[in-house]
Amino acid sequence: MKTFIALLRVMLGSFKDLLPIILVIAFFQLLILQQPLPDLISILGGLILVVLGLTFFIFGLEMGLFPIGESMAQAFAKKGSLAGLLGFAFCLGFGTTIAEPALTAVAAEAAKVAASGGVIEMTEQAMKDYTVGLRLTVALSVGLAIVLGVLRILKGWSIHLMIIFGYLCVMILTIFAPETIIGIAYDSGGVTTSTITVPLVTALGVGLASSIKGRNPMVDGFGLIAFASLLPMIFVMIFGMTIA
């Protein structure tokens, strides 16, 4: 019964999160464009599916993925295995990014645009190779970003200086990178921090900071997502420079 009540609460929260988007679309469609919503039944059915999908996804994260990410981080910290912890951090960042639907969509679209713009050959194989290369590059960068974030928590490094240095690198690379890759690189930093990556990476950081004496989970447990947004921009611009 408690599980059912919790599920209903998550469903209500999902609907509240979607409500502003629904109101904005309805306002502009009905009052600004002054046109009826096309295929209203289909739209309502789609909204119901979106609410249900978000509900089960968030509920699943809260029940399974978030606790296991936090508990594994604590277990590695208590065991004292630095190599195991860093290996887990890399695999977590790499695996969640490869599975990220937003990255898959962006990489596929980028391949089509690159082919139409003459950056790569207009063949199915060339576009497939470009898509796979881009996804692997972003996943590798996120894996290394999580390792860097874990080391920051362990060593107590200043996140301010690390982020400033990282964005200086982004600015310098922007000067030399091909124009065709800059926009993709900047977007890659956003698509990596989406529905799958964020909860697990956050759980890792909070769980690790909670297990280390002298670390504050509120201060040190967060910040890994910043690295996961930053490093893909750097790596994707380097990727673009190597294939140009």
**Residue 72 in domain:** no
Instruction: Give mean pLDDT, residues 160-173.
Output: 94
Q: From the CB of residue 158, how many other CB atoms can be counted at a distance below 10 Å? A: 9
Domain that holds residue 4: 1-64
Residue type, 223: G
**Residue 135 in domain:** yes
pLDDT digits (tens, 9 = 90+) for 59-91: 777 776 667 766 777 777 677 678 888 888 898
Tell me if residue 154 falls in helix, strand or coil.
Answer: helix
Rounded Cα distance between 236 and 142, Å, is 11
Q: 168, 86 in Cβ contact below 8 A?
A: no
Q: Does residue 242 register a pLDDT over 70?
A: yes
pTM: 0.77
Rounded Cα distance between 238 and 219, Å, is 32
pLDDT digits (tens, 9 = 90+) for 91-112: 888 988 888 888 888 888 888 8
Angle at CA 222, nearest 5°, toward 201 and 158? 120
**Residue 76 in domain:** no
Q: Could you tell me if 123 and 210 lie in one domain?
A: yes
**Residue 23 in domain:** yes
- Give the residue with greater pLDDT, 68 vs 185: 185
Rounded Cα distance between 93 and 87, Å, is 10
Q: Residue 167 has which token pair? A: 């964005």
Q: Could you tell me if 238 and 142 lie in one domain?
A: yes
Number of domains in the chain: 2
Residue-level pLDDT at 231 = 94
